[in-house]
Structures are given as structure tokens and as C-alpha cells.
Amino acid sequence: MKYRIAIKASPVDPSAASEPQPPEPDPEAAPAAPEDDARPWAGDPYDEGDETQPDDPAVTAVFGGQADEQAWLERADDGTLTGWVRDGTGQVWRYSDPDAWAIDVDDAKMTPSGADGPAEPEEEKEPTPPDQEEGTTGDLGPLTLDGFK
């Protein structure tokens, strides 16, 4: 047995057609920039006031940025790494994820500074010449092929 189904459109309610629709956002319109140019750091705002300072012995890396920004990485006695950023306004941000800290420091184009800044390049040493005696292979001694003729 075959069934035939017909769907009829419901009558249009004239009051529904007159409701204003919200305008669609323009995809090319950029969002308004914030009034202050403070960097939106990914760390947690830290207002306790007991953070380590960049010159603390537990600090393993120190970076400086534009507008008096500072960043430092602290290594606790148990090996835990904590990242810190102080922005130009003095607000301190704490990072429990050192990878997120490193990304923010890199994105801010901060450069190493302080005592733990970039190390001076080492003088290049001339490579030690290999043993010039024929039949030797480095420190293994002379190569002998006993039993082969």
C-alpha cells in the first residue's frame, strides 16, 4: 500500500513579518582597540606582592621588553618552573605553565637581559686532527685483518 503525503505551508502571520531583524556583523570590520595598550598576558594576575624578583638566585632566565616590561623564570628547589611577567604598569602576572610563559615572552619580542642574559660566544677551537697513521681508525688502533689473504 502506498501513501501520499502533502505538506501545506502555514499561513503567514503579518505581525511576525514586521519584527526587525538584528543587523549581521560586518566580517571586515575590526574590533575596536582597547583604550590602553597593555598587553593581554596569558598568566594569572598576581597581586600578593611576594613574587620573586629578577635578581633572585632562584631565577634562571631574565628578559626585558619594550615599555619597561620584565620577565623571569624561577626554578624552585623541587624543580618546578614558574614564569613571571611585570608589565609597564607594574602589574605582575604568574605562569604555572613555563611553555605559555615562553610563548608570551617570545611574542612580546623580549630579549635576554640581566646576569643570566646571553652568554658570550665561546672561542672556536680547532678540531683535533685525526690520527695520521695509516691503517688506524680513531682511537681503536691499527686495523688488522688476520686470516684473510
In tens, the pLDDT along 21-43 reads 667 766 666 555 445 445 578 89
**What is d(CA 73, CA 71) in angstroms, rounded to the nearest whole number?**
7
Please say if the pLDDT value at position 13 is more than 60.
Answer: yes
- Cβ atoms of residues 51 and 84 within 8 Å: yes
**What is d(CA 53, CA 128) in angstroms, rounded to the nearest whole number?**
44
**What is d(CA 34, CA 77) in angstroms, rounded to the nearest whole number?**
40
Q: Is the pTM of this model over 0.85?
A: no
| Backbone φ, ψ for residue 48 (5° rounding) | -70, -35
In percent, how much of the chain has pLDDT > 70? 55
Please say if the pLDDT value at position 101 is more than 80.
Answer: yes
Region of 45 (left: φ > 0; alpha: ψ -120 to 50; beta: rest) is beta
